[in-house]
Structure 1
């Protein structure tokens, strides 16, 4: 295992053992505790403890539907955005982390997030994409994460996000309109769709990923990373966009 990468992660908030687990998962693409132990040299009992901590911080997610528990690391760029300390060394090594994360098989990668930190990490990733497509509810998001919409609107006003041009489809409800009009002023495309009234699921396309969010009593987000899936679904999103109505 590359000791320089361990040192870099340790300098930005990871313990040495957390860094070893994170790097092992990036290298594997997705892996079991036994696979992590083999690659990192750590004992299985401590790996379980380390994984729980990394999951709570939103840096690792458990893959659902597996007979043997398996885990997947969030992309290194997401870790970078969450860190508030000096990230100079991390930026320098970011291409290496991305290379490690891309060594998996070509089949879709599915990750599941049900912690507050994990869910917010996904939404932060979506909001940094250059051309995201949302089928969402601002009111519902704001109810779960108070103030989050205004925070994103403020972020979009900053220079580094002015090139982001998102497409938003939201329910035809009065509570959605103030946020929708604010996004329209920021060169975002926003329409209302009456069929979304009462819906409790959000859908987002960004890059090569689909995010499906359930914001009910027990919120969670499932992220599917697949060019084929996104290519197949984008025309369907565009049909909904054509059926949606401009905001008056």
Structure 2
């Protein structure tokens, strides 16, 4: 047995043992040295160090404003073990005293028929009780969800629901596929146990009774009637049920968590995603996963609000295309380059918030927060960003892509309005070619244009417009005297407006979806249109 295994026997978690062992080997050091040696995520290392310091197994000093960590005397382990032994002896004494004071009754059930009798007896016990009650189920073996038992569970839970008997169940993560199915049954709530908890048996808790359900070739149930025992297990269940934060590690576990969250939703429900992001190098593995995820989401009719980075627009559109929602009927996407880059992806569900750090293998980490006030605060933050009606776009390529996307947002027969603007002195040939291609696309889509230009560029402007609309069938162009020239180009769309300052690579655009601002710009255009010349 190596040192790490011995440390785990003493009560260390797996990660704490790794960090403790690294401190032995390195000596006094910064946290960064431990992160480098163990290859653990920085959050995991800091969390382990915090626990070791709290238990006085390590101590922290500060030198030049930098935190240094060092092991305490190893005899602290012995003192800690002696304290645990003393506590265990006191608990054992208390349990033995309770046993002497209490009475209990034990029943055994064997086989599938015995299991059915046991579960139906629970319903009878609760129905006969004047104060009613609920069934608590802690853990379940994977064999319990296979036929012929799965058919029985469906029948049993629907009968229970019909009799208005509530049930709460905690399932291990390796059988999460049943959570969605059970949660659809009235008077039923199902949650998942922490990732590290594996329970080979199922424990039923009701009234003054506890039953342990074991699975080998056939089910075997030990039911004990004892109020003290039932209260103890009920308290344990409530502690696990009330845990409002879980840390999940490993890429496969994160994928499973995301599907669990999706499958807990029903048609018409909506969740929000902020800053979709992942570690470089994981694209090949994650892109197929995201496509399959959204395909299931669309098939189940679950709505999405996605607020991400402009650089990810094409990938998201590919995912929506694959998922069967190319027209974004149940997927709302917004993109911007004005957000600060974040390594985390934040997902907001009706009852929780999940912070995903998408990375390869065990480096991937998620924090699942089921605290109502935190979820509410994150939703308010998301909504504030979502409702922002004005954003800044910088860089010529970004502005040009934006202008083309705006054409795609309109439908055949829509009209947009353009006035003002000048290219600047840098590379006018590029802008001429760009707007010729733009006009061709506009005409191909059947979109109408009203434009006000200036007399000194009449020839060039008409040439650009006619490159896509030779007979000006979809385009109306008028001109103003040069004295009224404005430095910005204004484009007014059916649902938004753009103000653009061209300076080649340093181009800048302001986009607004505020309707009052759009209407003001449109009125200004209409007043200029009246005095402009054909």
Name the CA distance, whole Å, in 2 between partners of 1:214 and 1:100. Answer: 23
Give the number of equivalent residue pairs: 182
Name the CA distance, whole Å, in 1 between partners of 2:487 and 2:398. Answer: 19
Q: Is the radius of gyration larger for structure 1 or structure 2?
A: 2
Q: Deviations over 1:80-134 (max 9, x none)?
A: 6997x79732661622332788x84596511111123321222113334322111
Name the CA distance, whole Å, in 2 between partners of 1:147 and 1:91. Answer: 35
The change in CA–CA distance for 1:242 and 1:90 in structure 2 (over 3 A counts) is: farther
Name the CA distance, whole Å, in 1 between partners of 2:429 and 2:466. Answer: 19
> Structure 2 unaligned runs (5+)?
1-254, 260-271, 281-306, 336-381
Name the CA distance, whole Å, in 2 between partners of 1:169 and 1:97. Answer: 36
Name the CA distance, whole Å, in 2 between partners of 1:170 and 1:82. Answer: 37
Matched, 1:89 2:322: yes
Name the CA distance, whole Å, in 2 between partners of 1:178 and 1:195. Answer: 19
**SS in structure 2 at match of 1:134:** strand
The change in CA–CA distance for 1:88 and 1:170 in structure 2 (over 3 A counts) is: same
> Structure 1 unaligned runs (5+)?
5-22, 26-35, 48-71
Name the CA distance, whole Å, in 2 between partners of 1:41 and 1:235. Answer: 41
Matched, 1:109 2:353: no
Shift of 1:231: 1.9
In the alignment, what sits opposite 1:152?
Answer: 438
Shift of 1:177: 3.0
In the alignment, what sits opposite 1:168?
Answer: 451
The change in CA–CA distance for 1:179 and 1:73 in structure 2 (over 3 A counts) is: same
In the alignment, what sits opposite 1:126?
Answer: 406
In the alignment, what sits opposite 2:521?
Answer: 233
Please, what is the CA RMSD of the aligned residues?
Answer: 4.1
Q: Deviations over 1:189-216 (max 9, x none)?
A: 1111124775431011112212110002
Name the CA distance, whole Å, in 2 between partners of 1:216 and 1:229. Answer: 24
**SS in structure 1 at match of 2:478:** strand
Shift of 1:142: 5.4
The change in CA–CA distance for 1:236 and 1:137 in structure 2 (over 3 A counts) is: closer
1:185 aligns with one of 459, 469, 472? 472
**SS in structure 1 at match of 2:448:** coil
Name the CA distance, whole Å, in 2 between partners of 1:116 and 1:91. Answer: 33
**SS in structure 1 at match of 2:273:** helix
- Tell which has more relative contact order, 1 or 2 (C-alpha 8 A, sep 6+): 1
Does the Cα contact within 8 Å between 1:137 and 1:176 map onto a contact in 2?
no
Does the Cα contact within 8 Å between 2:423 and 2:503 map onto a contact in 1?
no
Does the Cα contact within 8 Å between 2:496 and 2:513 map onto a contact in 1?
yes
**SS in structure 2 at match of 1:245:** coil
Name the CA distance, whole Å, in 1 between partners of 2:488 and 2:449. Answer: 19
Does the Cα contact within 8 Å between 1:200 and 1:216 map onto a contact in 2?
no
Does the Cα contact within 8 Å between 1:171 and 1:196 map onto a contact in 2?
no
Shift of 1:24: 3.0
Does the Cα contact within 8 Å between 1:201 and 1:215 map onto a contact in 2?
yes
**SS in structure 2 at match of 1:95:** coil
In the superposition, the TM-score normalised over structure 2's length comes to 0.29
The change in CA–CA distance for 1:3 and 1:151 in structure 2 (over 3 A counts) is: farther
**SS in structure 2 at match of 1:178:** helix
In the superposition, the TM-score normalised over structure 1's length comes to 0.57
Greater fraction of residues in strand: 2
In the alignment, what sits opposite 1:11?
Answer: none
Does the Cα contact within 8 Å between 1:156 and 1:186 map onto a contact in 2?
no
In the alignment, what sits opposite 1:201?
Answer: 488
